[in-house]
Structure 1
Amino acid sequence: MCNMKIKFLGGAGTVTGSKTLVESNGVRFLVDCGLFQGLKALRELNWEVLPVPAETIDYVLLTHGHLDHCGWLPKLVAQGFKGKIYCTRPTKEIAKLILLDSAKIQEEEAAKANNKKFSKHKVAKPLYTVEQAEEVFPLFRVIKPNETFNIDAEISVTYTNAGHIIGACSITVEAEGKTLVFSGDVGRDNDVLMFPPTKPKKADYVFLESTYGNRLHPDTDPKLELETYINNTFHKDGTVIIPGFAVERAQSIMYLLWQLKKENRIPDIPYILDTPMGANVLGVFNENPQWHKLSAHECIEMTKMFSVITDYEDTIKVIFDDRPKVVIAASGMATGGRVLSYFERYIGLPNTTVIFVGYQGEGTRGRKLLEGYETIKIYGQHYPVEANILQIEGLSAHGDQQDLVNWLSALENKPERIFLVHGENEPADELRLKIKERYGYECNIPFMHGEAEI
């Protein structure tokens, strides 16, 4: 019998482009199929043909609907994939929204590049189109968490709650007498909206994310930080811009702002949600109450506080309204989306406050702003950065080093190997040392396109 083969086609040495290929007894399946973001060298990988012919892949198992885990599906389908894509119901709905939004942004940015002639290509093209994104949808197959099902006669799969965002799951695969556990992105035990992640009890091989493998979330009160930053900006007649991850982070920020407003701790100014996808995600929250802590009544009352914008014409009106305001606009790492339109007008104003509320990948505008870049490039133009750039780390949807180490604490057996994925090299290596120190488990940190036999 041949050994099972694992190929790390993404999410190795980086927090983006998650793709892990498993080959077992003639069956090939991907765990996640994400888009590379951030550094140009990574983004360029999105244009390459998959090292394995897409038509030979039988299934995709999606852990959740974030772009770095599902955003390459249209390319996979365009390259010949015709199999089933398994996921939970909220993940299906989120992934559809994410893919449509991604395709639309790419079409718009290609059109801008061609109109303004700032692309070095003769004709700038989108990575994929809205039409190609829609070709993915018929392949989705919804599964229920905590119920084992077979994707093949000899391969069974179980999804369990991972926290992180609505619908997110870890995936346990039983094949060839081995138990493989793919963590996906692990949430936090004390998240504002999500339930704590379920810890695995048995695993021969673990594929564990390591995004915050070298960091502990600060023991601070994000609600108090929000209150302070908003009031300080209001007293300067300024605007607060929060680059928001449209899924779950935007809703968490909305919830905290709603609480602060009810307690009369923040001023009576416009509070704006300017992300069509974020608005649609509210509908997913309403339709899937078993996946989060908010009641139906709380969802309705929270939403009433915000002006929810979908049309870009209304975005322009808000941008040129000089009154103090708080705006949540995608994308969360400022890699695209409407937040860039706000940056064009406000990033150069010293009474502006930009608050980042999640992980900022290497090479993204968000990371550059937090690192203190004095100018930022948007659509081919450079803008001076005069705004106050802040970060609230306590709102990250990812578990920190302690959460990740604790996630392994319920294992009843010693894993043969743990692969640390979905992390930059330094965080992954520090997590490796912590796991060895606490449990004595050996960890591997795979390279991009690396292979392992198990």
Structure 2
Amino acid sequence: MKITCIGGAGTVTGSKTLIESNGIRILIDCGQFQGIKPLRELNWEPLPILPSTIDFVLLTHGHLDHCGWLPRLVDQGFKGKIYCTSPTAAIAKLILLDSAKIQEEEANKANEGQYSKHQIAEPLYTVAQAEQVFSHFRVIQTKTPIALDAEIEAVFSNAGHILGACSIELHLENQYLVFSGDIGRDNDVLLFPPTIPTRGDYLFLESTYGNRLHPDTDPKLELEMYINNTITKGGTVILPSFAVERAQSVMFLLWQLKQEGRIPSVPYVIDTPMGISMLDLFENNRKWHKLTQEQYVGMCKMFTMVSDYKETIEMIYNKQPKVVIAASGMITGGRVLSYLERYIGLPETTVIIIGYQAEGTRGRKLLEGAQDIKIRGKYYEVKANVVEIEGLSAHGDQKDLLHWLSALEKKPKKVFLVHGENQAADELRIKIQELYGYDCVVPMMGQTFDL
């Protein structure tokens, strides 16, 4: 059996892990690279094997860094099945269509504005190519074995993080391989705690926050403080948010604050069509989250939901103080860019960063104190107040990741630390070895292991 870390090694994006066993090829996730240009350029490179030779894709969840390369995979010849939960299939469809639409729009704008370095800017994939993926989805039930082959079985288990997210256990060649996917938090606002594994010969554990502990602070209190301070100054609060699950978590916390009379009566806006579409998924997938019907209805009524871009323009030029949730979470694209073009240069603006910011993204640059940021070929001076609320991350921290390994009945042969930047993964490696004595390795991109 061979394992190759095609992506998601040394970085938190581009997750792709290839398993080759007895003539069968399985890809765990098929994500898009994000962040610094050398990583983004990898999206244009072919896989080290022909997509037509891959039999199955097992999808842990629907975030772009785990599913965003599927249109390229299918376009280049993949004809197999993509197994995932029902919410993951629905989310992946939304995200792929949104990603394709944004890429088409950005390519058109680059060509019209002539700010692309290429003679003709092209999208990584089109809406039509994204739609070609959908017929490959096969919905599975959690905790139910799926026979991929006569001697290969897969079981999906809840991982928290976002709706439908799962860890995956593979049983093949008399070995148990466990792929964590992205691990959610034990005390998430909306989601249930992850199911932790009890067995595994080889474990592939994400390490996004492998070197960090989430602060023991109250994110509601922080939201209350930043919103009140900003509105008092006559400013606008902008929350760049991942449209899937984080936007809904922030909506819920803001609704609670409003119910408790702790934040003012100003417009509360969610301007992300995909985030709005996600609300229907919350209503239709109640077993995956903690929201009651009453909470869901109340939360939705509080917000002005903006779908049409004309409404976005009107909201941007409305001088009234307001609180806006807009995608994307790492400020790599989406409507939040349009808000920042107008508001990032105003000192009364507050930008609240609420999720992991990958290396090279605008969000990371803002957190690191950038004096200006580049949006659509133009530079904008940063005068807004940029703050971070770490307690709203959808990723488990070092403590959560260590806890995920705590129920193993016997010592694994090896733990691979993936989906993390090198320093985070290496610090987690040291902690695991100190706490459990497990053999850990931090794979390099493209590295192959014989198991």
- Quickly name the TM-score band, shorter chain normalised: over 0.9
Question: Which residue pairs with 2:388 in the alignment?
Answer: 391
- Alignment match, 2:269: 272
Give the Cα–Cα distance (whole angstroms) in 2 for the partners of residues 115 and 341 of structure 1. 17
- Is the aligned partner of 1:148 residue 2:145? yes
Question: Are residue 35 (structure 1) and residue 40 (structure 2) matched?
Answer: no
Check if 1:316 corresponds to 2:313. Answer: yes
- 1:91 maps to 2:84: no
Taking the aligned partners of 1:289 and 1:296, their CA distance within structure 2 comes to 9
Measure how far apart 1:297 and its partner are: 2.3
Q: 1:232, 1:68 → 2: CA distance?
A: 35
Within the candidate set 115, 123, 128, 1:118 is matched to 115
- Identify which of 203, 208, 213 aligns with 1:211: 208
Q: Which residue of 1 aligns with 2:323?
A: 326
- Which amino acid in the other structure matches residue 163 of structure 2? I
- Give the equivalent residue in structure 2 for 1:305: 302
Unaligned residue ranges in structure 2 (runs of 5+)? none
Match of 1:135 in 2: 132
Residue number in structure 1 paired with 2:15: 18
Deviation per CA, 1:339-394, whole angstroms, max 9, x where unpaired? Answer: 00000000000000000110000000000000000010000000000000000000
| AA aligned opposite 2:69 | W
In 2, the alpha carbon distance for the partners of 1:150 and 1:14 equals 31
* Residue of structure 1 aligned with 2:227, choices 209, 223, 230: 230
Q: Which amino acid aligns with 1:26?
A: G
Query: Does the alignment pair 1:382 with 2:374?
Result: no
Structure 1 position 170 matched with structure 2 position 167: yes
One of 183, 198, 207 as aligned partner of 1:201: 198
Give, as a single letter, the amino acid of the residue that structure 1 aligns with 2:307.
Answer: T
TM-score when scaled to structure 2?
1.00
State how far apart, in whole Å, the 1-side matches of 2:356 and 2:394 are.
Answer: 8
Q: CA RMSD in A?
A: 0.4
Distance apart, 1:398 and its partner CA: 0.4
Q: Kindly provide the CA deviation profile for residues 245-302 of structure 1, in whole angstroms up to 9, marking residues without a partner as x.
A: 0011000000000000001100000000000000000001100000000012221111
> Structure 2: which amino acid aligns with 1:22?
I
**In structure 2, what is the Cα distance between the partners aligned to 1:16 and 1:146?**
27
Q: Is 1:421 aligned with 2:447?
A: no
Residue 70 (structure 1) aligns with:
67
1:27-58 deviation line (CA, Å, top 9, x unaligned): 00100000000000000000011111000000
Equivalents in 1 of 2:79, 2:231: separation in Å?
A: 53
CA distance in 1, matches of 2:343, 2:214: 29
Query: Could you tell me which amino acid in structure 2 is paired with residue 301 of structure 1?
Result: G
**SS of the counterpart of 1:102?**
helix
2-side partners of 1:97 and 1:297: how far apart? 26
Counterpart for residue 444 of structure 1: 441
Q: Distance in 1 between matches of 2:399 and 2:124?
A: 37
2-structure distance, mates of 1:151, 1:355: 44
**Stretches (4+) displaced over 6 A:** none
Please give the alpha-carbon distance, in whole angstroms, between the structure 2 residues aligned to 1:200 and 1:42: 31
Alignment match, 1:260: 257
Relative to the length of structure 1, the TM-score reads: 0.99
In 1, the alpha carbon distance for the partners of 2:266 and 2:203 equals 48
What residue in structure 1 maps to residue 286 of structure 2?
Answer: 289
Q: What displacement does 1:442 show?
A: 1.2
Counterpart CA distance in 1 for 2:342 and 2:112 is 20
Which residue identity lines up with residue 436 of structure 1 in the other structure? Q
Confirm whether residue 363 of structure 1 aligns to residue 370 of structure 2. no
How many corresponding residue pairs? 451
How many Å separate the matches in 1 of 2:339 and 2:283? 29
Partner-residue secondary structure (3-state), 1:223: helix
Q: Work out the CA distance in 2 between the residues paired with 1:298 and 1:180.
A: 39
2:2, 2:142 → 1: CA distance?
A: 26
Q: Quick one: which amino acid aligns to residue 354 of structure 1?
A: V
State the Cα distance separating 1:89 from its structure 2 match: 0.3
Whole-angstrom distance in 2 between the partners of 1:60 and 1:37: 21
Identity %: 68
Other structure's SS at 1:226 match: helix
Q: How far, CA to CA, are the matches of 1:317 and 1:235 in structure 2?
A: 22
Q: Tell me, yes or no, if structure 1 residue 58 matches structure 2 residue 55.
A: yes
Distance 1:139 1:191 in 2: 31
Counterpart residue identity of residue 89, structure 2? K
Q: Residue type of the partner of 1:42?
A: L
Q: For the residues of structure 2 that align with 1:89 and 1:300, how far apart are their CA atoms?
A: 23
Counterpart residue identity of residue 91, structure 2: I
The secondary structure found in structure 1 opposite 2:25 is strand
Q: Using the alignment, how far apart are the partners of 1:296 and 1:56 within structure 2?
A: 46
Aligned partners of 1:149, 1:342: CA distance in 2, in Å?
Answer: 45
Q: Distance in 2 between matches of 1:258 and 1:360?
A: 25
Structure 1 regions of 5+ residues with no counterpart? none
Work out the CA distance in 2 between the residues paired with 1:264 and 1:299.
Answer: 18
Provide the C-alpha distance between the structure 1 equivalents of 2:49 and 2:186, rounded to a whole number of angstroms: 37
Q: Partners of 1:326 and 1:369 in 2: how far apart?
A: 19
Q: Deviations over 1:48-80 (max 9, x none)?
A: 111110000000000000000000000000110
